[in-house]
Amino acid sequence: MNAMMHPTTDVMRPIELRRPAAPLRGSDGGTDFPKFASTRVSFLKDRTIYFEGDDASHHYRVVSGTVRLCKVTEDGRRQIVAFPTAGDCFGWTGWDSYCHSAEAVTPVVLEKISRRSIEEAVQSNPGLGRGVLAMLSDQLMSAHNHFLLLGRMTAAERIAAFLVELARRQDRLDDEGGTIDLPMSRIDIADYLGLTIETVSRTISAMKRDGLISATALGSIRLGRSEALEQLALAA
């Protein structure tokens, strides 16, 4: 387990498609994060949005698509920290540089907000700060839940928790037999859950055998009796 497991290198530089600014947009899904003046940018699948260590000049909000935030050790071990999707924010930091990299899992469209403009806006309008605060609090809480997953849950429980989380975020938890999207690869899932691809694959296969889930195509999964999954995911 010690040595490198799935080295993931990425030497592609982001390509930014500058679009006309669309300041103070209306409200689409996600949290009630305040609306700042923003620029639209797009990234192709697997392109890097920023690298760990880059100057943390901007904050992002996902308009569409899925992003992955990664930390990588010197010897190539990778841990995915979050999968922001439509409505989610990322790239906020109290430091000068990002402490993880951000990559496009699917083609993505983002709102890019300069750090300075946020700081100025918050300065002049304290109410805005609350939105940022709420966002950070939520992310911290999710992080703490993920601690429990990474530190104390079995492979099956991690997968179940992951699927339930996805279903919830896609509003498909209550749909019986609802089909959820799995936009990311097995490697991404493994690196998010602290497992290997093989274990992820085997566990998903076992769940299919047991009738917990079924799949038509790769990249989507149907939940059969989601209660059983929630049971496994157990939460607190």
Partner DNA sequence: CGCCAGATTGATACACATCAATTCTCGTGG
Partner DNA sequence: CCACGAGAATTGATGTGTATCAATCTGGCG
Q: Rule CB under 8 A: which residues touch a second copy?
A: 1-2, 5, 52, 69, 71-75, 77-79, 81, 92-95, 99-100, 122-123, 126, 129-130, 132-134, 136-141, 143-148, 150-154, 191, 193-194, 234-236
DSSP secondary structure letter of residue 33: P
Among residues 28 and 120, whose Cβ is nearest to a second copy? 120
- Which partner in DNA, a second copy, none is near 122 (CB below 5 to 8 A by kind)? a second copy
- Which partner in a second copy, DNA, none is near 15 (CB below 5 to 8 A by kind)? none
Identity of the amino acid at 108: V
Rounded CA separation 179/170 (Å): 10
Which residues bind to DNA, rule: CB under 7 A? 1-3, 5, 154-156, 185-187, 194-202, 204-205, 215, 217-219
Rounded CA separation 36/208 (Å): 45
Among residues 120 and 176, whose Cβ is nearest to a second copy? 120
- Which partner in DNA, a second copy, none is near 234 (CB below 5 to 8 A by kind)? a second copy
Residue 103 backbone dihedrals phi, psi, to 5 degrees: -135, 150
Smallest Cα–Cα separation from 103: which of 44, 55, 56, 181?
44
DSSP structure string for 175-189: STT-EEE--S-HHHH
- Which partner in a second copy, DNA, none is near 147 (CB below 5 to 8 A by kind)? a second copy
Residue 85 backbone dihedrals phi, psi, to 5 degrees: -130, -175
Among residues 137 and 220, whose Cβ is nearest to a second copy? 137
State the DSSP H helix or E strand holding residue 120, giving kind and residue range, or none if neither. Answer: helix 115-124
Among residues 15 and 143, whose Cβ is nearest to a second copy? 143
